[in-house]
Amino acid sequence: MAICYNPPSLVKPIVVRPSTSLSSTPKPNYFRCNLSFPSTTIHLPVSEPEPVFASVKAFAPATVANLGPGFDFLGCAVDGLGDFVSLSVDSSVHPGQISISQISGDPTSKLSRNPLWNCAGIAAIEVMKMLGIRSVGLSLSLEKGLPLGSGLGSSAASAAAAAVAVNEIFGGKLGSEQLVLAGLKSEEKVSGYHADNVGPAIMGGFVLIGNYEPLELKRLIFPKEKELYFVLVTPEFEAPTKKMRAALPLEIGMAHHVWNCSQAGALVAAVLEGDLVGLGKALSRDKIVEPRRAPLIPGMEAVKKAAIEAGAFGCTISGAGPTAVAVIDCKERGEMIGEKMVEAFWNEGKLKSVAAVRRLDRVGARLVDSNPR
């Protein structure tokens, strides 16, 4: 998870033109975009699209990336937690530009209103570039529902909501894969070029990142008839992505590599088969990343133990932490597990924490409101 800090030299909101090169390029754009396993060539519209709404509001869910042995290539979306982006056509904003009018929600003090330094702003600009928007100015309002630096994909949620909002206000010309590319521009700037949060934030469900050049995203469909709940326990503790990444080994022994690969395979199989026991087991068996990161989060090892003892199918660190994530098939049991995890964070780590039990989000970023022109 990444944080958009307010850079000291840039304190005033400014507006940004998506791209001078693009705005001066009237020729058709062809983005070759091999985004799913069968290769796809997406031909963008030659003409600049008109806005189809006066304003829209989009939601993007929190995401759990890494998932133990799924480190850096697998993530999933969780329902009911996330960020909102409201977007309106604004004649007071210079055509082809975007302005961030407001940021609300808990962690606003750290967030920049400069679109170039804001996760939502960067993704919105990217989508405007992709669509070739030159004649319409937009005003964006970001409502943060996710805490920063918690391991729940806060930056990705902002980027995803913004990307979807811009796309939808112009009639939804772009596919979800292109929106992920836009979100990646944002992630690249704030935390690194990783799609394991922004992929599921936009696409919903589980998403496997198969490649970056070209981007290949694979949806892993968890069976519709099965329930999957995440117990998310977030302690009051800062675990910056950079520090958590620095804790990782540079080299991995062959035995651990094979082990984690086999668990990654088992995890993917469990997702596709809706096998919660297998999913929990594979999730919990990372021998490479979790063993380095867990000791940096006070109480994490005890929290994992408590979750599994209380009946969770498995438990690991969400993203780069500090949130712990456990999996279960029942909300009530999840709440009980969450209590035990909160207790363990307090007893063993001396950390206050909050628990939430959330379903798998199968939809991803979407419009929640719109007003016609």
> Could you list the residues that contact a copy of itself (CB under 8 A)?
37-38, 69-74, 208-210, 218, 220, 248-254, 257-258, 260-270, 272-273, 275, 277-278, 281-282, 288
**Min dist. Cβ of residue 308 to a copy of itself (A):** 14
- Catalytic option among 234, 241, 316, 323: 241
**Min dist. Cβ of residue 198 to a copy of itself (A):** 16
**Min dist. Cβ of residue 158 to a copy of itself (A):** 25
CB closer to a copy of itself out of 38 and 372? 38
**Min dist. Cβ of residue 38 to a copy of itself (A):** 6
**Min dist. Cβ of residue 225 to a copy of itself (A):** 17
Closest CA to 291 of 258, 326, 256: 256
Distance CA 358, CA 40 (A): 34
Treating both helix axes as pointing N-terminal to C-terminal, what angle do 119-131 and 176-190 enclose, rounded to 10 degrees?
140
DSSP 91: T
CB closer to a copy of itself out of 116 and 272? 272
- DSSP line for 125-189: HHHHHHHT--S--EEEEEEE-S-TTSSS-HHHHHHHHHHHHHHHHTT--S-HHHHHHHHHHHHHH
**Min dist. Cβ of residue 35 to a copy of itself (A):** 13
Q: Residue 37: helix, strand or coil by DSSP?
A: coil
**Min dist. Cβ of residue 251 to a copy of itself (A):** 4
Distance CA 64, CA 335 (A): 18
Residue 105's H or E segment, with its range, is strand 98-105
197 is written with which tokens?
């949060």
Q: Examine the residue annotation and report whether 63 is marked as an active-site residue of this protein.
A: no
CB closer to a copy of itself out of 52 and 220? 220
Closest CA to 163 of 213, 135, 199: 199
Helix ranges (DSSP H) in 33-151: 119-131
How far, CA to CA in Å, does 133 sit from each of 6, 21, 30, 44, 137? 27, 12, 15, 12, 9
Contact in structure between 133 and 47 (CB atoms under 8 Å): no
Contact in structure between 222 and 362 (CB atoms under 8 Å): yes
Distance CA 200, CA 205 (A): 6
N-term to C-term CA, the chain = 36
Count of positions (residues) in the chain: 373
**Min dist. Cβ of residue 282 to a copy of itself (A):** 8
Q: Examine the residue annotation and report whether 143 is marked as an active-site residue of this protein.
A: no
Contact in structure between 102 and 142 (CB atoms under 8 Å): yes
CB closer to a copy of itself out of 61 and 280? 280
CB closer to a copy of itself out of 203 and 282? 282
Distance CA 1, CA 190 (A): 9
- Catalytic option among 63, 187, 290, 323: 187
CB closer to a copy of itself out of 183 and 314? 314
CB closer to a copy of itself out of 24 and 251? 251
CB closer to a copy of itself out of 31 and 259? 259
**Active site residue ranges:** 187, 241
